[in-house]
């Protein structure tokens, strides 16, 4: 597990690719993921020691800033373990009584919020999605007790940073059990399977 993570979001791939090249040449970090996302932006996720990640993050941010191409960025010197695991591909089925859904305007803004929330409130991270198939939005889902999830959602606007904003947030106090099972597989429409709960009205052929 990397002791530090950084995510940089660029307005387009030209400066994003240049920034990744400069970061990798400057510091011994791991390039965890990079590539284009909606709507034509470019994300670069790096990890390593705190010192190496800070150095690479600074170089990448400078490339973006000097060219007017940096949409947002975040450096997490001590990322919450749940967030680090989610960025590595892990996801959890919702188990809590309440569910909270957050949509932010940038992916770094979402990571900034989730890291703060997970360290301050005893909620569980269900899913993280960064921009793709979301029109550039970033999506985060947490669950837990109703007061904890409500507190997590209320914290979001204060911690998303100067370049991001909360686009939408929803609180589900008593998650429907059918929906709970669906969300366990993820929020993508393409991966969703049909569910017919007991009592559902079905059209006969």
Domain residue spans in the chain?
A: 4-76, 88-189
Report how far Cα 154 is from the mean position of its chain's Cα atoms: 17
pLDDT grade for 197, boundaries at 50, 70 and 90: confident
Of the candidate ranges 50-54, 61-65, 191-195, the one whose mean pLDDT is the lowest: 191-195
Proportion of the chain above pLDDT 70, given as a percent: 96
Proportion of the chain above pLDDT 90, given as a percent: 86
- Same CATH topology for 4-76 and 88-189: the answer is yes
pLDDT grade for 71, boundaries at 50, 70 and 90: very high
pLDDT grade for 23, boundaries at 50, 70 and 90: very high
Tell whether the model's pLDDT for residue 205 goes beyond 60: no
Tell whether the model's pLDDT for residue 203 goes beyond 70: no
Q: Where are the beta strands (DSSP E) in the chain?
A: 4-10, 30-37, 41-48, 70-76, 98-104, 124-130, 138-144, 166-172
Q: What is the pLDDT of residue 123?
A: 98
Q: What is the pLDDT of residue 190?
A: 83
CA distance 69 to 158: 24
Coil/strand/helix, residue 159: helix
The stretch 88-103 carries a mean pLDDT of: 94
CATH tag, 4-76:
3.30.70.1710
pLDDT grade for 35, boundaries at 50, 70 and 90: very high
Q: What is the pLDDT of residue 164?
A: 97
Beta bridge partners of 102: 140, 169
pTM for this model (two decimals):
0.93
Q: What is the pLDDT of residue 132?
A: 82
Tell whether the model's pLDDT for residue 143 goes beyond 70: yes
Whether domain 88-189 has CATH 3.40.50.720: the reply is: no
Tell whether the model's pLDDT for residue 202 goes beyond 80: no
CA distance 30 to 162: 27
The stretch 162-171 carries a mean pLDDT of: 97
For the purposes of burial, counting CB atoms within 10 Å of the CB of 71, is it exposed (0-12), middle (13-18) or buried (19 or more)? buried
């Amino acid at each position: 597990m990397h002791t530090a993570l950084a995510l940089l979001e660029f307005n387009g791939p030209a400066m994003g690719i240049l920034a990744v090249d400069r970061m990798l040449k400057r510091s011994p970090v791991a390039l965890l993921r990079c590539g284009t996302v909606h709507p034509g932006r470019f994300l670069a996720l790096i990890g390593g020691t705190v010192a190496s990640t800070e150095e690479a993050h600074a170089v990448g941010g400078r490339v973006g800033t000097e060219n007017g191409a940096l949409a947002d960025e975040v450096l997490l010197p001590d990322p919450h373990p749940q967030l680090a695991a989610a960025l590595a591909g892990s996801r959890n089925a919702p188990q809590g009584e309440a569910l909270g859904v957050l949509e932010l305007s940038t992916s770094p803004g979402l990571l900034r919020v989730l890291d703060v929330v997970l360290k301050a409130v005893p909620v569980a991270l269900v899913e993280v999605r960064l921009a793709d198939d979301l029109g550039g939005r970033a999506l985060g889902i947490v669950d837990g007790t109703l007061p904890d999830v409500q507190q997590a959602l209320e914290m979001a606007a204060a911690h998303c940073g100067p370049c991001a904003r909360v686009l939408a947030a929803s609180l589900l106090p008593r998650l429907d059990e059918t929906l709970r099972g669906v969300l366990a597989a993820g929020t993508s429409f393409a991966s969703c399977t049909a569910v017919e709960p007991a009592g559902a009205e079905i059209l006969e052929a």
